[in-house]
Structure 1
């Protein structure tokens, strides 16, 4: 008989370990629902919440129970429903993993609805059903009945799985706040997991206890177990908002991956791989490794015109733009089951196939190029603690040239050399050259993204406004404009401009033209003239003039009372307006907004409005600058104020007033 002593390694080395009480089913015995909970109408710590988790408890353990050896998981929660917007919480969906020979099972369901009038409704296991989702998952579903505004719902379920590589993830945070979230685990010594804590919330309590000879299989052996207790209190809701990467980067959770398993009879099995293992597998695998070594084949296909150039950067750019034009992305993100030769012949392929073709072209010309694997913004950042190749879904070329690093992607027609698509701006990636050890590298953005809007407004004697506008855009803002214009006719583009002048009446657009739309190396410039007749108000007393066109950020994207995760624009940017207003002597300036500005520390982000006034001319300037692509939750309030004031500056008019004629005196009647 074999015995395992526990040598448990956890990523939570910063947390102290103390003994805890044994885990048992008493944790699932919640106290009766209180009248206070039934009568409450709002959560005092978040008055905007549609519901709040009063308490939840989970217990996951690898155990031998009733001759079943596997992962047993139990979950119980109690939720207060404040209004109908939270009625969806009464429908519970439990994913069940499906393997080739077995599947995860739902063993038990108990649920109760409590209402303030004293009525209750109950359901059990027979009221749940399981439907097939795909080859990897079934979905167990049940719905609690008779939900009302003010209901308290409580449900419990239990599952069993033999898939021990999928130890149960626990998410402390969700779209609604939680008062108390508690998770217990019990893991035998012969199962060693990599454990990853996600998010920036802190435990209110964490305890551990070693159990000697707790895991036992008759005739085979025993193993020590460790029981872990994790607890968080007063957990804020994680509410999605613009300019964030995947929720999985911020949602407070514990995630597991099986690292090693030591059988009672067959010895140790390393489940998780090292990066050395992955480097070797990718190098010799039929997918990325083999496809990245086709430079001899593609070297024969490089047109002679691409092999010339005064500098290395000119040669590389020729190859880049040639392939960008020649090949078309088919919309696939796959990095396995790929064939670069077939993709080149068909002139279409996946992200990885097209960029591997570029890699081979560059290597054939002697350039130091490798491949960077990364994950797109809708997915969590790749795990750095251990390799998980399945997390990667995007591949770009990593080029070292003249002491600089370039990240190249030819899949998007409107991206200039060295600029990745917005979806790929997700923190960092893993670089492979298939000769040396791979390594992590941050995705750095060096290109400036700028929108310069200059206007010259003339107000004539009749109150007709003529505005000559020139908009010049660089970097990612230029990419957006090129993509936008590619899907519009000229008439549609002009109509869109007219809609930006909704505060004026019947604008006429003339002299419209776009410069450098197809030259990706240059900024794109749009020029046009706007004419608006008779801007004097109906009472003939005032003229409201809005000096800045409303092209960007028409509303503040930041509306949360508190944001618990980073603001991530992907890249830094600036919007700079400069408007010169020449006014007929038939009018005078009645009022102009006061100069003002607001900035974060070190001018990491700021807005500024200022004017310079002469008798018949006014210069108005407005700036919005985000010098960094990311901002912490501590900077959120300041960021929100910056955008509020930027939008206010665009929406506040300069007021003109007709000059009153001075009455003349008839000298011929004087003295009569």
Structure 2
């Protein structure tokens, strides 16, 4: 193994030395009086518990050649909501032959202050439980005793992992659902094993040292290996708190991961585990669930009506073929693309998994003469696939890439409410791998079209002083998808929900225009009647009969991971209110114009009057699908302004 190369790579990782002072002893696992007496964490007053110190150490045992990991943690319980931190769950790989992963030397203590004295409560062996969790894992669980608000718990254990599982060296999480003051991980990796090492989460290491230890591992017959010894640490790590507009937490939790690249035996054998994409492409070409299925020819007359077979190839005919597959084959809600993929069974049963349905669509379009390729995707909840080296298990979804006249379209026939050139929101995960078994695969950026919402309200004040008129709306992209799916699944429930979401407004004569379950635009219109709030001769009116955001979705003090909307979008609302002969405007809303840094988002609000008619325009533009964490305080302020404008804009009318 090229140890110096790894050292150079790791030394390039950024480091950070600043660390805030606290009364807690974050320098060791020893519990101090200050740890027990201190019952607040000023840096995060919302925290219900705090990891004061944690340390892990992994090495290959020189006698058993098993990967051995020792872990120790010291945690402060700040409130009752943090009591669950006293329960530890360890998932262990089941036996394979006579070998298996196991945990040993579980030790734990709870420290409490009682009448001015420190009372220790030891973990008993009878409180350690093992169960059969599933077909792959056993579960070992233990709970520290005598937990109270203010308790400090300390526990440790040793994991023993057999050599056959060392394809995945023990990774380490620096970040958790509660804050961490200090987290350190030591590793010793014999030169026989060469790993791809990846730091995830974007946080900086406080400690990052690498050294080489000579002859750290010896085997019978005189074989010896040097070891790469590393120490990684982070300090003052905030809790990871989930919030709206994010993909899976696995994309952002600060941690170090390992994947075996090459194993070199003492007998001279070399086994490569991580390959280049050209090697993976060859394997996928012969894979029974991918390449073998993609190569199957289709008798078009067994699947398509004769009219679609005879039509010339065009975007319009491709859309009709796509719609035919949507309507006639049902997704079984399973995401498999490397398991149980069979277009033969799909044609027979009319139901199948993602791989089967979209490979069928691919093969039909290919048979018809269209230029199509499969696109491997990792869904938003599955995490971003790594681009550093091929990891085929990172992918769990497949869609069809279609090219017509130099225009690219992405298709997914699993959902009966998707439009042509629209893939599910779960697939909007920035990029995928476009397969081409002749020219070689390549990365492909997933860039959905912008989605828009338009509302136009034309209203007037009737003889009773009520505001009546018509609202017309238009939605495109994913906004249209969400509404047409809700509407065409249950029209009466949709209209009832529309009425319930517009308090103090009565809705009647609802109808849709040129809409269908897969039409890319969802148009609707309905009549409204609003009984105004009248005080004496004055009427106070909030002109927003439709609100885009009822509250600010961003509530964290700070957010360390991106704000991922999935797609760019805009919101438009216009109002024309004819006051007639009864009222006149004596005060109208103040205009608002604000934007995000670099014009990455715009809020525009203005009003005008002419001939006793109020005209109002409200527009929101989000010009990015994904915003970096640096935008969070600005987005939070931006959304506050949006909510404030919608909730607190008042028009004061006076009777003539």
Residue pairs, 1:16-415, within 5 angstroms: 30=28, 32-64=30-62, 67-101=63-97, 102-117=99-114, 118-125=118-125, 127-162=127-162, 163-265=165-267, 267-298=269-300, 301-309=303-311, 312-335=314-337, 336-415=339-418
- Return the alpha-carbon distance in structure 2 between the equivalents of residues 381 and 536 of structure 1: 51
Runs of 5+ unmatched residues, structure 1: 18-26, 661-672
TM-score between the two structures when normalised by the length of structure 2: 0.93
TM-score between the two structures when normalised by the length of structure 1: 0.91
- CA contact under 8 A between 2:13 and 2:205: conserved in structure 1? no
Q: Name the Cα RMSD after superposition.
A: 2.3
- CA contact under 8 A between 2:29 and 2:74: conserved in structure 1? no
- CA contact under 8 A between 2:37 and 2:150: conserved in structure 1? yes
Match of 1:625 among 621, 624, 633: 621
Residue pairs, 1:237-636, within 5 angstroms: 237-265=239-267, 267-298=269-300, 301-309=303-311, 312-335=314-337, 336-445=339-448, 447-490=449-492, 492-502=493-503, 504=504, 507-518=505-516, 520-533=518-531, 535-537=532-534, 539-614=535-610, 616-636=612-632
Question: Which residue number corresponds to residue 22 of structure 1?
Answer: none
- CA contact under 8 A between 2:298 and 2:364: conserved in structure 1? no
Post-superposition shift, 1:601? 2.6
Please state whether the residue corresponding to 2:576 is helix, strand or coil. strand
Runs of 5+ unmatched residues, structure 2: 16-24
- Return the alpha-carbon distance in structure 1 between the equivalents of residues 533 and 319 of structure 2: 54
Post-superposition shift, 1:589? 2.6
Post-superposition shift, 1:254? 0.5
Please state whether the residue corresponding to 1:434 is helix, strand or coil. coil
- Return the alpha-carbon distance in structure 2 between the equivalents of residues 41 and 530 of structure 1: 56
- CA contact under 8 A between 1:582 and 1:616: conserved in structure 2? yes
- Return the alpha-carbon distance in structure 2 between the equivalents of residues 310 and 654 of structure 1: 58
Please state whether the residue corresponding to 2:615 is helix, strand or coil. strand
Question: Which residue number corresponds to residue 20 of structure 1?
Answer: none
- Return the alpha-carbon distance in structure 1 between the equivalents of residues 179 and 159 of structure 2: 25
Number of residue equivalences: 639
Post-superposition shift, 1:541? 4.7
Deviations 1:410-450 (A, max 9, x none): 111111111110000012111112222111111111x2211
Deviations 1:236-285 (A, max 9, x none): 11111011011111111101111111222362222233322221121122
Moved more, 576-585 or 34-43: 34-43
Question: Which residue number corresponds to residue 21 of structure 1?
Answer: none
- Return the alpha-carbon distance in structure 2 between the equivalents of residues 309 and 181 of structure 1: 64
Higher Cα radius of gyration: 1
Moved more, 361-370 or 301-310: 301-310
- Return the alpha-carbon distance in structure 1 between the equivalents of residues 631 and 27 of structure 2: 42
Moved more, 477-486 or 288-297: 288-297
